[in-house]
Amino acid sequence: MEDLKIINKGLEDEMEIGGYRPCRWKLALVGVGVVCSGGFLLLLLYWMPEWGVKATCSRTTVKEADMVLLRSTDEFKRWFLAKVRVMLAPGRNPFDNLDSQTTSTATANGHTPHGPRTPDSPSQEIRHMYAEYQPMQIRYFTLHSTKYYWSDTAQNFVVFTGLEDLEVTCSTVHSKHSTGLSRNQQEYRRLFFGVNEIAVKVPSVFKLLIKEVLNPFYIFQLFSVILWSADEYYYYAAAIVFMSVVSIATSLYTIKKQYVMLHDMVAAHSIVRVSVIRANNEIEEAMSTDLVPGDVMVIPSNGTIMPCDAVLVSGTCIVNESMLTGESVPVTKTNLPNPRQGGRGSDSDTVYCTEEHKRHTLFCGTNVIQTRFYSGELVKAVVVRTGFSTAKGQLVRSILYPKPTDFKLYRDAYLFLLCLVAVAGIGFIYSIALSIINKVPAKTIIIESLDIITITVPPALPAAMTAGIVYAQRRLKHIGIFCISPQRINICGQLNLVCFDKTGTLTEDGLDLWGIQRVENKSFLLSEENAYRESLVKSQFVACMATCHSLTKIEGQLSGDPLDLKMFEATGWILEEATEEETSLHNRIMPTVVRPPKQLLPEPTVSSQQDMELYELSQSGYEIGIVRQFPFSSALQRMSVVTRTLGEKRMEAFLKGAPEVVASLCKKDTVPEDFAEVLEDYTKQGFRVIALAHRRLESKLTWHKVQNVSRDHIEANMEFLGLIIMQNKLKPETPGVLEDLRRANIRTVMVTGDNMLTAISVARDCGMIPPEDRVIIADALPPKDGQAAKINWRYADNPTKSSGKATRLEEVEISLEDVSQGEEARQSERYHFAMSGKAFAVITEHFQDLLQKLVLHGTVFARMAPDQKTQLVEVLQSVDYFVGMCGDGANDCGALKRAHGGISLSELEASVASPFTSRTPNISCVPNLIREGRAALITSFCVFKFMALYSIIQYISVTLLYSILSNLGDFQFLFIDIAIILLIVFTMSLNPAWKELVPRRPPSGLISGPLLFSVLTQILVCLGFQTMAFLWVRKQSWWEPWTPLSDTRGDFNQTFCLSSQCACNLSSSSNISLELNETELDDHYIKNYENTTLFYVSSFQYLIVAIVFSKGKPFRQPSYKNWPFVLSACSLYAFLFFILFYPISAIDDFLEIVCVPFQWRLTILLIVFVNAVVCILVEGSIDLWGCGCVSWPCCRQKRVPKARYMHLAQELSVDPDWPPKPKTTTEAKPPPPSAPPAGQPPPPTRPENGSYRIIAAS
């Protein structure tokens, strides 16, 4: 047997794969089993696909398999089945260039001599084209809208994603892939990549119906209905059928609606007409569905919706990427730089990657608003990925095939059901044994013993469990929180850590200009409020503010990054863009021009020598043209532009970006000495600081040369101009919400792309880090020049110790004695870790053991990339935190999707990735969601406990009645299940959430000591009182086996009825004669004193446990505020008291209850009253002392906390080296260099990321 292979190794959807072939004798055996089991075996194999494959197939190699069985390697271990298919193709690799080997069938341009291609002829054309080739059989299978092809090279199934599979460099994209494909090459590639379409197939109602009906729950209901019909419980069976039909119809409508919504969202603009450049430079119109990786498409000047992922190779585009990022701010995309152009070497030539080169990549589903182009040169893009491989396709796949939400409640629910099945098994055996002893007919034995199972496992349980979630979803909608994944509401009740994005989430979305601080003669001038002054109009500082941005005019309105917008508006300048007509008149791209308003310019003085032409030129004002733009890159943390001032010959470069980055690119003699101190001062106050720089370019750089020059060449030897200080105000709700979360023992963490010190300052301002707490910055450095990776530890804001000078490191011994002196102080002092994205990456790679310790107290994570935010969420989840994530949708999609509860504050399309979307654009939605989650979770517990008690109470009643060969009647079942249970279940779920968050969290699962203890004690109480009532009624002096004559006023009344105690209100003689004539026997022996007694007692018990379990504070509002529940309970109590003390013959006949003496009715009342008191006292005691009593046996042993983060916290509390001291360095130890001596065992292998040593800095 071959070992299992792994596909998608290292990716989120990594799976083990095994090969199988159908086996005839196994198939025959299963066929016999299906016939013998009446089709049940077939259902079982449908529910368990892995069993189905193993039962009907034999194992083979993956290469020769007819079907493959896959299992995910994540914690869910899900099984998938796929059929292996075979296709014929001229080659095995979509990127093989078969044209170079073809015969005269193909022309030099790659076109066939046969006229235009018909839509249905691609495969025929391919076969004709490559007729000489022996067609190859290529094995593949499709899973989750992805095709996996067999690769002889990899000896495994692989996915062809697109052009990136070739690992093409930027220069190769220009040299080999920008000329376009021949039509035959395109057809050949389409065999592998398929149609370029994100097809969300809406299943037919019939398919959905079959899938829904074959759900184990509905099969069980069908079995129950057949059984009840056989037992002549027609009304009850009809009621359950009606409920099931309504449930199935509702479910089908919801699922169908979701599919249609997703289909409509994806289908909108997904198929468009595109212009494609062929290999002979011809442009042809085609449908976007025909595109394949390697095609070159022309982006129309009036814009389009992108049908694929493509990289720009010429021209510039302005794109709205809100579908992907959540930001509706237009982004400028520039053409991919060609390192080989301009004679540069291959050093700067990097492999093209959509993530790294996203500023040059147009993503599928994004809206290209307009294009900029050279005259005679089109805006061209090379198709990189198509279909489900695109960014939009992957987003749709994640919605179509989501990961299951792993929550203890649902796992425990299945365990609980198994316990109920075990209880049912005991009753099953008991009823069979009892029936055989009493010589009951075989048919009755089968029906009644199976009936026990349907009683114990309540068919209404799933509907009851979802009721609380549906109500919570409705309440969330009422407060402006929309949910696309209702099951996550319960999980939100468990959240104990919430990550917040900073900008737009904790702080206001926009930035305000607080001031500027210019530099002259290598020193900072005093800060100035604004740049809108006549004296500064021609300064390099203002010119940089006016030109170094990516703003554009769309329909006459300035649009772009909010920061750029604020900065440009602060100058008061005017931006003008060339029209399409102007652009087409020139041989080169027309620049965007900026100029100051006339009122800021000094009046020009005209001398007598000045000629008319120069005078007019000076009158036209002072203008700067933006010749080339290098857009902002989050990886580089900067942007730059090349400009030319009107009348000047030499061009200039302006740079804007993160202060540390800009300073590193400037000449040292232009950066002020106190730069670090000034910057730290601003960032500590929470300001966002941007640095500006400038440089005059060489005169030899012409307009055309500038278009091809590299970014690194421009962004060097700059002159430092100064700082722009932007203020990012906290949202007014932020501090209060964070204080509420802190009081509720919910940790808060900041995950931002902003500067570290700014983030720490905001964290202090909003109360995330209290004023008295220390902040330790973990500054990690990757391995360099043979040195191991290391982490430098320092305090963030210790003004007495920060010197601004680099520390020299030397190795020292730290003795335990030194540590122990400050041990008490250290333990009382609270601390927080802060780190940047770069440090996080180094720690993740080289200090894996340290990472979990750091996130335990990590509060600020700055300069984090989108994928790092997702990684952080996963690390926090790995130490058993229930993680919430709140972001404004921009760059937070991955983290929002991965968190247990992701809340997007953006209502844009990107919120489709987030389980929750808030209409209120501030974090006040977070505590609201947690409160509702807690209420829904407690409701689920209440409902589950109630449903468990309901089934057990009914099970006790039926088991007791079986002992006298009796049972509950059809209408008794109907009254209990419909009138009592359904009414109570759907109203007890209506309790709203408690008005504030409390420090205590609800239990996460049903299998917890107090909860199980509560259920078991209530079961014992109910069992005790039912058994007591059952035995007590048989001990009464008036008791005898009931007959229809017992209700008359004959001997029974003379013997047992005193005038004041007569139970039956049959007054007329006609009634008496009617009863005497109605002597037909009751087949099921329903009417008897035991049945009536148990019916009354059990009916009251259902209501008692409903009230006992329907808890309020501290997670829900008290039950008396839930008026539908109060009304339902009171009405049912009133009705039961009424029929108990004032029997009406019609109701008695309907419910098949018999007449009992008035004294016994008072006894029943007493039993019910004592039962209620005992239930309330028991539940109250468990609430007060339950946790202590249940955990008491464990107290003698030292309790190990269940959650890993608590376990880690316990370990660290006694670790003398934790937290690391300031000015120390943790260094990763390199692996041992040599092998052990001969004859000695090798030392235990310990990875590099598990070892480190501490060295101190002086």
Q: Tokens for 612? A: 């008319």
- Beta-bridge partner residues of 162: 385
Q: Tokens for 1228? A: 């990763």
Q: Tokens for 237? A: 């069976």
Interacting residues of 243 by C-beta distance below 8 A, sequence separation 6+: 460, 463
Cβ-based neighbour number of residue 256 at 10 Å = 15
What's the gap between Cα 1142 and its chain centre? Answer: 58
Q: Tokens for 710? A: 């590299």
Q: Is 1083 exposed, middle or buried (0-12, 13-18, 19+ CB in 10 A)?
A: exposed
Cis status of the peptide bond prior to 1219, with omega within 30 of 0: yes
Cβ-based neighbour number of residue 1215 at 10 Å = 10
With b for 16 or more beta-carbon neighbours within 10 A and e for fewer, the 1011-1044 pattern comes to bbbbbebbbebbbebbeebbeebeebebbeebeb
Q: How far apart are CA 546 and CA 697, in angstroms?
A: 18
The answer to whether 6 and 73 are in contact (CB under 8 A) is yes
Give, in order, the Cα–Cα distances in Å from 767 to each of 687, 730, 734, 832, 851: 17, 11, 9, 13, 25
Helix (H, G, I), strand (E, B) or coil at 25: helix
What's the gap between Cα 480 and its chain centre? Answer: 19
The answer to whether 583 and 589 are in contact (CB under 8 A) is yes
Q: How far apart are CA 581 and CA 301, in angstroms?
A: 12
The answer to whether 376 and 588 are in contact (CB under 8 A) is no
- For residue 503, what is the DSSP state? B
Helix (H, G, I), strand (E, B) or coil at 213: helix
What angle do helix axes 837-846 and 848-857 make, rounded to 10 degrees? 140
Q: How far apart are CA 409 and CA 415, in angstroms?
A: 10
Interacting residues of 862 by C-beta distance below 8 A, sequence separation 6+: 750, 752, 753, 754, 755, 756, 758, 759, 760, 834, 835, 836, 837
Give, in order, the Cα–Cα distances in Å from 240 to each of 459, 626, 980, 985, 989: 8, 74, 15, 16, 21
Give, in order, the Cα–Cα distances in Å from 561 to each of 558, 631, 694, 1007: 10, 11, 21, 52
For residue 938, give the nearest of 1006, 999, 998 by alpha carbon: 1006
Q: How far apart are CA 720 and CA 675, in angstroms?
A: 11
Q: Tokens for 628? A: 């080339």
Active-site positions read 501
Q: Is 1225 exposed, middle or buried (0-12, 13-18, 19+ CB in 10 A)?
A: buried
Q: Is 526 exposed, middle or buried (0-12, 13-18, 19+ CB in 10 A)?
A: exposed
Q: How far apart are CA 863 and CA 847, in angstroms?
A: 19
Rounded (10°) CA dihedral 1092, 1095, 1098, 1099: -130
For residue 910, give the nearest of 261, 329, 326 by alpha carbon: 326
Cβ-based neighbour number of residue 454 at 10 Å = 20
State the DSSP string of 583-635.
Answer: HHHSSSPPPEEEE--GGGSPPPPPPTT--HHHHHHHHT---EEEEEEEEEETT
